[in-house]
Amino acid sequence: MQRSLKDYIVLILKGIAMGAADVVPGVSGGTIAFISGIYQELIETINQINSNTIKILMNEGLKAAWKSINGHFLIALLSGIGISILSLAQLINWLLEHKPVLLWSFFFGLILASIYFVGRQVKKWQFEQILALIIGSVIAFFITILPAMSGNVAPWFIFLSGALAICAMILPGISGSFILVLLGAYKPVLDALHERDFKIILTLMAGAVVGLLSFSRLLKWMFDHHRNATLAVLTGFIIGSLNKIWPWKQVLKSEMIDGKLKVIEEASVSPFNYQGDNQLIFALLLVLLGFGLILALEKLSQTKN
């Protein structure tokens, strides 16, 4: 696919949006990839990284290998994600700590609009698609209410955690960092990063690579053979995940992690039963802003086409 400099700048901006979403526990960068129109290309690009890439590199050179893996697309997207994580992580973490209701409200509106955006791509809503939607919704909702497990640093467990987290990260609706919290791997991984425990870090990365390369192949096969049902399941995942990003929460369990109080378990409550300032007016305005932003982006893409 031939792209202009302007197209690559837009790709970097989409990467920045994905990175910002991944910083927020409960919001998936995969959702942002989907609503920004690059999800399927991302899955197909990941699938192109295989043993055949080595053969092309050896026989035809670096330029041919780079082209075979859609390298310009990957580097632009990863650059945006990296820029976002390095520049926005502190801001988003500050907002999560000091303005959680307002931040979650914006993301709630954004994800709510994405349900319509993804769902409308299902060409036929028949029994199979409706069943897939219900199954996806139930699975995602169930994941959001699971209690967190205790920590485990066994290599097999860290490897599995990395594989599951990266799979969640590329699925719309489910957050990879949230999966690490559920598995009880969040604190061990955080400790490993601070203590530079390369054994745990490399084991996690190995799991992530295996999970990414294998799960992306499954997703590509699903899109190729059961596109409507796959889109319906992904729509369900997004619907079910709304419970996680509901702005008004009651903390049920918390734990000191790295010197900070981290929420381990929480439940959604009505804004009128929220313990504290529900900031209802501003929250509703931010829900509308998030919702309107997705509709505006969709309108813009239709105009461009």
The residue segments making up the domain with residue 180 are 5-304
Whether residue 279 has pLDDT greater than 90: yes
- Which tens digits make up the pLDDT trace of 87-139? 776 787 788 778 989 988 998 998 888 888 888 888 888 999 999 999 999 99
* H or E segment and range at residue 267: strand 260-268
pLDDT at residue 102, as a whole number: 92
- Which tens digits make up the pLDDT trace of 285-296? 999 998 888 777
- Which tens digits make up the pLDDT trace of 135-152? 999 998 988 887 766 666
Mean pLDDT of the chain: 83
Looking at the structure of the chain, the number of domains it has is 1
User: In this predicted model, which residue has the larger pLDDT, 233 or 254?
Assistant: 233
- Which tens digits make up the pLDDT trace of 187-201? 787 778 777 888 888
- Using a pLDDT cut of 70, give the percent of the chain over it: 89
Give the CA angle between residues 70, 75, 78 to the nearest 5°.
Answer: 120
- Which tens digits make up the pLDDT trace of 199-209? 888 998 899 88
Write down the pTM of the prediction.
Answer: 0.76
* H or E segment and range at residue 10: helix 5-23
- Of 67-76, 157-166, 254-263, give the lowest mean pLDDT range: 254-263
- Which tens digits make up the pLDDT trace of 25-39? 667 788 788 877 788
pLDDT at residue 134, as a whole number: 95
- Using a pLDDT cut of 90, give the percent of the chain over it: 17
Place of tokens 């520049």: 87
